Structure 1
Amino acid sequence: MNKQTVGFIGGGRIARIFLAGWTRAGKMPAHVVVADPNAQALAQLKARYAAVETTTDLAAAAAQDIVFLATHPPALTEAAGAAARALRPAAILVSLAPKFTLAKLSALLGGFSRLARSNPNAASVVGFGMNPIVFAPALDAADRAAVHALLAPLGESPEVAEEKIEAYAVFTAMGPTYLWFQMQALRELAVSFGLAPAEADVALKRMVCGAARTLVDSGLPPAEVMDLVPVKPLAEMEPQVLELYRTRLPALFQKIKP
């Protein structure tokens, strides 16, 4: 069990992802405070995670050892203002939102510089997340190790350059949404074709992971990888799908860049 006290400013999806991942791994921190102005969201969290302290007082979460700023960008400025009044000098604040750079966060926090930024990935729920992180210079090796210890049960947390955080946000943080609905459709179809649900689930995991590893690790050019299967039932739809990727995602990336 991690002995650092942890605060979440924001009790939405990101807090739920972290709490679920820690619970699954048996690595829940010793003391967790989740603050959110939405009492209903807090009640739902408390019903699932009884040991977690919930409050509408954002300052209570900001007073912990490691504080996760887990709000959407539109609410971040106000949340940072509440945090600035309660942060301990030795605390570490980890922002989980794109767009707000370390420099901008420090300004919003009245010059507080013990900062990090990360882009959480939903697969952290099952310990298979991709959660890239960037640390401010004010955090030493021990500080960084403390944050990594919290992220380790959730999956991978490579240290990256700050200018790459928004790229990871579009690629890995939002990435599952590009694939989940297709995978679920395949899962349902496999059962309709006669596979037992358990058989379909095993096959889906192996197929999806194997497809990614073949594309990335086989050493073959992408065109050769895509030619390994001779029958392509959805080939005529590929141009429309690729057009969506090549227009919507770059536009989104430009929108969230600092």
Structure 2
Amino acid sequence: MKSVSMGFIGAGRITRIFLQAFSNRSISLKNITVCDTSELVLHELQNQFPEICVTRHPQDCTKQDIIFLALHPPHVMGALESIRMIVNTSKCIVSLAPKISMAKMSELLSTLNLARMIPNATSFINSGFNPICFHPDFEETKKEELLDLFSALGKTFETDEQKLESYALVSAMLPTYFWFQWNELQVIAQQLGLSEDETNRALHETIAAANDLYFDSGLTSKEVIDLIPVKPIAENEDYIKNCLREKIIALFEKIKA
């Protein structure tokens, strides 16, 4: 993999996920600069990844080959405004935020090497499912270099820009719909007499097998669900479905506006 320099504007969760994924694959972090407005956040990140350089100035990140906008949507345009005059056409800009389109970004930037990506938390263990889209005029050689770099994160695939927000809700946020339930089952299982190791093994192996059964057995979803006759929370299923539908669709409408 060709060595490239990277700048992250924003030192939050997604930057930590990227750095951990690169570290897992023994990709050097020496050419990485991370910017944030919080000294504490930068200090904590550098303690975890001592090789990186940290800064309070977004302009320092523009010296790098690839500039990541690791920010929430309301802060993306402000960050672009602060670097617009010093980003030349050779730089690659990769936004990791939903909502802000490449058309909007290109209003402030001279470079057409623009990309948007919706990364997954599972990239932390190099098992991400990360949709990406590129500006039509993105340089082909640079695109290949980026995709090669992103292979360290897991599966990265090209998609249409208008589908990114859908992936954000049904893929990137997907674990949050289940993780708290798995955590509660860990607590319940140990109250029922299983050890921590027994609990974790039971959940881990059953969840993995249930996933394979649902998607790879050749059965319809109804046929899979019918394989287990006793459903202890059946009376609450409609409530849970309505929660999912109402919250997810409302959030989709908000970030697509």
* Residues 48-63 of structure 1 aligned to structure 2 (within 5 Å): 48-63=48-63
Deviation at 1:199, TM superposition (A): 3.2
User: Alpha-carbon deviations, 1:98-136, whole Å to 9, x = none?
Assistant: 111111111132x32111000011111111111110011
Alignment partner, residue 83 of structure 2: 83
Does residue 1:176 correspond to 2:185, yes or no? no
Aligned counterparts of 1:22 and 1:14: Cα–Cα separation in 2: 12
User: Alpha-carbon deviations, 1:166-224, whole Å to 9, x = none?
Assistant: 00111111111111100111123233333332333233222222222222222211111
SS at match of 1:75: helix
SS at match of 2:157: coil
Alignment partner, residue 201 of structure 2: 202
Deviation at 1:30, TM superposition (A): 4.4
Aligned counterparts of 1:50 and 1:154: Cα–Cα separation in 2: 20
Alignment partner, residue 67 of structure 2: 67
User: Alpha-carbon deviations, 1:34-89, whole Å to 9, x = none?
Assistant: 01111111111111111000000101112210111111111111101123233232
Query: What amino acid is the match of 2:76?
Result: L
Alignment partner, residue 146 of structure 2: 147
Alignment partner, residue 190 of structure 1: 189
TM-score by length of 2: 0.94
Contact 1:8 1:62 survives alignment (8 Å): no
Contact 2:23 2:29 survives alignment (8 Å): no
**45-54 or 80-89, larger mean C-alpha shift:** 80-89
Structure 1 residues 184 and 172, CA, compared in 2 at 3 Å: closer, same or farther?
same
User: Alpha-carbon deviations, 1:118-171, whole Å to 9, x = none?
Assistant: 001111111111111001122233212211122211111111111100001111
Aligned counterparts of 1:2 and 1:71: Cα–Cα separation in 2: 26
Alignment partner, residue 35 of structure 2: 35
Aligned counterparts of 1:92 and 1:49: Cα–Cα separation in 2: 23
Aligned counterparts of 2:253 and 2:203: Cα–Cα separation in 1: 33
Does residue 1:99 correspond to 2:95, yes or no? no
Structure 1 residues 193 and 93, CA, compared in 2 at 3 Å: closer, same or farther?
same
RMSD: 1.6
Q: Which runs of 5+ in 1 are unaligned?
A: none
Query: What amino acid is the match of 2:251?
Result: L
Aligned counterparts of 1:87 and 1:169: Cα–Cα separation in 2: 28
Q: Which runs of 5+ in 2 are unaligned?
A: none
Structure 1 residues 155 and 242, CA, compared in 2 at 3 Å: closer, same or farther?
same
**48-57 or 18-27, larger mean C-alpha shift:** 18-27
Aligned counterparts of 2:96 and 2:105: Cα–Cα separation in 1: 11
SS at match of 1:132: strand
Aligned counterparts of 1:108 and 1:219: Cα–Cα separation in 2: 49
SS at match of 2:107: helix
The count of aligned residue pairs is: 257
Aligned counterparts of 1:205 and 1:138: Cα–Cα separation in 2: 44
Contact 1:115 1:136 survives alignment (8 Å): yes
Contact 2:129 2:171 survives alignment (8 Å): yes
Structure 1 residues 149 and 28, CA, compared in 2 at 3 Å: closer, same or farther?
farther
**74-83 or 3-12, larger mean C-alpha shift:** 74-83
Alignment partner, residue 123 of structure 1: 122
Query: What amino acid is the match of 1:23?
Result: S
